[in-house]
Amino acid sequence: MAIQSARIRLLDEAPPREKADFVLYLMQQSMRADFNPALELAVEEANRLGLPVLVCFGLLDGANGFPEANARHYAFLLQGLVDAAAGLRKRGIAFHLRRATPAEVAIDLSAKAALLVLDRGYLAIQRRWYDTIVQDARCRIVQVEGDVVVPLETASPKHEYAARTLRPKLHKLWDAYLEPLKPRRVDHPAPELTVRGGLDVSDPDKLLAELTLDTAVGPVRRFRGGTSEARKRLDRFLAEGFGGYGAGRNKPEAGAASHMSPYLHFGQISPVEIALAIRASKSGDRDDRSAYLEELIVRRELAMNHVFRTEGYDDYARAVPEWARKTLAEHADDPRPHLYTEKVLAEGGTHDHYWNVAMREMRETGYMHNQLRMYWGKKILEWSPSPEEGFARTLRLNNRYFLDGRDANSFTNVAWVYGLHDRPWQTRKIFGSVRYQSENSLRKFDAKAYERAVIQLCEAEQA
Ligand SMILES: Cc1cc2nc3c(=O)[nH]c(=O)nc-3n(C[C@H](O)[C@H](O)[C@H](O)COP(=O)(O)OP(=O)(O)OC[C@H]3O[C@@H](n4cnc5c(N)ncnc54)[C@H](O)[C@@H]3O)c2cc1C
């Protein structure tokens, strides 16, 4: 199947360099060795030019480190890169990992490349890398958008108001993009191709130990990074958890969730691959399928639309809509019966037992079910001295402990707690007309069963 043209953008029109050693692919977002349109385009170009492909990755640590990333995130990232490197090697493609910014690696290696292929993420830091590369790498540059189902600008030319405004656009378009992507044959294999300054990618633990990182939040055993792991989990979910996803989605104790979010965040699995597997699955019914595709495509791509179209998406004043900021400001002086510091929140030391249990799941295992994330976020708003402070600390906790943190989904969903993509509701204290969530929502599922599951998961982390 051809790579859809709407996924491809030419960022530098220079012709391919005539004397070149390879076609270079900077694999910084779609971290996988197949079902990756940027990689397949690099292979097609390399075959056409009679060259091998070199894949590179810039690893940041210390003062240069990726904002808010800690040892938990890096462990998962490195496990994924080792898995991707093995997959690439099998296909006859070399992988070069270097301690430098992605832009530095790409610019340096592009001097020997016929052309440079980039993949695409939407966060501000990623966009700054692309700008630097386009400015300083003197060669043909092609960008391929492979971590969304519908390419972002094809889906919508503007900031979408809510899921209901983006949904019909995506529904109209998504069939054209839900197609399998076969790995192309590599005509000029060179898995041993080496360039100076590369790190050994055989052992993720050794690599992790060599980096300067915030180790206060450590790796988790619950999730191992990599495409192979992602696929195993997806298969298990389709066999055991998918039937009933539509109805069970609001029940965190029922296990009706795919746990794909860390793998999607690190680009270790393609959303198109997941969507095709969901469509083809023999388990689950129509409701399960449409509920899952709503989350995976509509909600996830709405989040990307928001961060791409909002300068300052991590800033309360710019990310939260005006009506919501106004009503929250009007209620900023309302008495707050419970006020907690960020430290007490992080430790799960509040008066709310099940909130503390959810916080424990997040802190110790790096994940929380969507239903509880909503409750968790709304309570931080209620228990913080001001909406601005509540927003900032929710984002900090979210990005520190969740493996899927620092994602477009992180920034967008935290802003949702404060009214983004929502509408005004009945007015009440502290929240004004921003949607409130009461303790009663915990009665809709078996909270005791959820607590037992969290205790087991946390014990497994310690074992
Ligand atoms: C306060 C708050 C903070 C959140 N922080 C994050 C975050 O840091 N990173 C993150 O990826 N998601 C975040 N979410 C969205 C959602 O909770 C998670 O994506 C989901 O729980 C991940 O678990 P799963 O993969 O098992 O989900 P499943 O239910 O199996 O869903 C499949 C996929 O659909 C997408 N999805 C599901 N729910 C949402 C949603 N509400 N918005 C956008 N996409 C969705 C995800 O990519 C997910 O992997 C947050 C939600 C809230 C309310």
CATH number at residue 11: 3.40.50.620
How many independent structural domains does the chain possess? 3
Q: Whose CA is nearest to atom 36 of ligand 1?
A: 295
The values of phi and psi at residue 432, to 5°, are: 55, -130
The two three-digit tokens of residue 65, written as one number? 């480190």
Q: With respect to residue 323, please indicate whether it lies within any of the assigned structural domains.
A: yes
Same domain, 302 and 319: no
Q: With respect to residue 457, please indicate whether it lies within any of the assigned structural domains.
A: yes
For CA atoms 366, 369, 372, 374, give the dihedral sign: positive
Q: With respect to residue 365, please indicate whether it lies within any of the assigned structural domains.
A: yes
Same domain, 292 and 241: yes
Q: With respect to residue 176, please indicate whether it lies within any of the assigned structural domains.
A: no
Same domain, 9 and 102: yes
Same domain, 389 and 259: no
List, as one string, the DSSP characters of 241-297. ISTTHHHHTT-GGGT-----HHHHHTTSS-HHHHHHHHHH-SSS-HHHHHHHHIIII
* Ligand 1 atom, smallest distance to 369 CA: 21
Same domain, 380 and 451: yes
Q: Whose CA is nearest to atom 29 of ligand 1?
A: 257
* Cα(221) to centroid(ligand 1), Å: 20
Task: Provide the β-strand partners of residue 54.
Answer: 24, 94
> What are the tens digits of pLDDT across the range 306-352?
999 999 999 999 999 999 999 999 999 999 999 999 999 999 999 99
Using the 3D structure, point to which of 101, 118, 146 is the last residue of a domain: 146
Pocket of ligand 1 (CB under 6 A): 257-261, 264-265, 295-296, 299-300, 303, 369-370, 373-374, 377, 398, 402, 404-405, 407, 409-410, 413-414, 417
State pTM to two decimals: 0.98
Q: With respect to residue 277, please indicate whether it lies within any of the assigned structural domains.
A: yes
* Cα(38) to centroid(ligand 1), Å: 25
* Cα(257) to centroid(ligand 1), Å: 10
**Rounded to an integer, what distance in angstroms lies between the CA atom of residue 148 and that of residue 442?**
33
CATH of the domain at 262: 1.25.40.80
Same domain, 106 and 231: no
Q: What distances in angstroms separate CA 174 from CA 4, 152, 159, 166, 170, one per listed residue? A: 12, 12, 19, 12, 6
Candidate from 404, 407, 412, 437 with most ligand 1 atoms within 8 A of CB, to mutate = 404
Same domain, 93 and 21: yes
CATH of the domain at 334: 1.10.579.10
pLDDT confidence of residue 390: 98
Using the 3D structure, point to which of 102, 117, 146 is the last residue of a domain: 146
**Rounded to an integer, what distance in angstroms lies between the CA atom of residue 211 and that of residue 226?**
19
Q: With respect to residue 408, please indicate whether it lies within any of the assigned structural domains.
A: yes
Q: Which residues, 6 or more positions from 304, have their beta carbon under 8 angstroms from its beta carbon?
A: 122, 148, 152, 408
* Contact criterion met (CB below 8 Å) for 82 and 204: yes
Q: What distances in angstroms separate CA 128 from CA 80, 96, 104, 288, one per listed residue? A: 24, 22, 12, 39
Q: Whose CA is nearest to atom 18 of ligand 1?
A: 370
Q: With respect to residue 188, please indicate whether it lies within any of the assigned structural domains.
A: no
Using the 3D structure, point to which of 265, 282, 308 is the last residue of a domain: 308
Same domain, 337 and 455: yes
The two three-digit tokens of residue 91, written as one number? 């296909």
* pLDDT mean across residues, the chain: 96
The 3-state secondary structure of 157-185, one letter per residue: CCCCCCHHHHHHHHHHHHHHHCCCCCCCC
> What are the tens digits of pLDDT across the range 378-397?
999 999 999 999 999 999 99
**Rounded to an integer, what distance in angstroms lies between the CA atom of residue 329 and that of residue 387?**
8
Tell me the residue type at 31: M
Candidate from 370, 411, 414 with most ligand 1 atoms within 8 A of CB, to mutate = 370
Domain that holds residue 37: 1-146
Given 3-state DSSP classes, what are the helix, strand and coil percentages for the chain, each rounded to the nearest 5?
50, 10, 40
> What are the tens digits of pLDDT across the range 47-59?
999 999 999 999 9
> What are the tens digits of pLDDT across the range 161-195?
999 999 999 999 999 999 999 999 999 999 999 89
* Cα(230) to centroid(ligand 1), Å: 16
pLDDT confidence of residue 120: 98
> What are the tens digits of pLDDT across the range 226-280?
999 999 999 999 999 899 999 888 788 777 899 999 999 999 999 999 999 999 9
* Ligand 1 atom, smallest distance to 406 CA: 8
Q: With respect to residue 160, please indicate whether it lies within any of the assigned structural domains.
A: no
Same domain, 293 and 316: no
* Contact criterion met (CB below 8 Å) for 154 and 6: yes
Candidate from 160, 261, 381, 410 with most ligand 1 atoms within 8 A of CB, to mutate = 261
* Contact criterion met (CB below 8 Å) for 286 and 242: no
CA atoms within 13 A on the CB side of 57: 25
Same domain, 264 and 329: no
Same domain, 298 and 399: no
Reply yes or no on whether the pLDDT at 221 is more than 90: yes
Same domain, 326 and 280: no
Q: Which residues, 6 or more positions from 218, have their beta carbon under 8 angstroms from its beta carbon?
A: 71, 72, 75
Q: Which residues, 6 or more positions from 179, have their beta carbon under 8 angstroms from its beta carbon?
A: 1, 4, 272, 276
pLDDT confidence of residue 300: 98
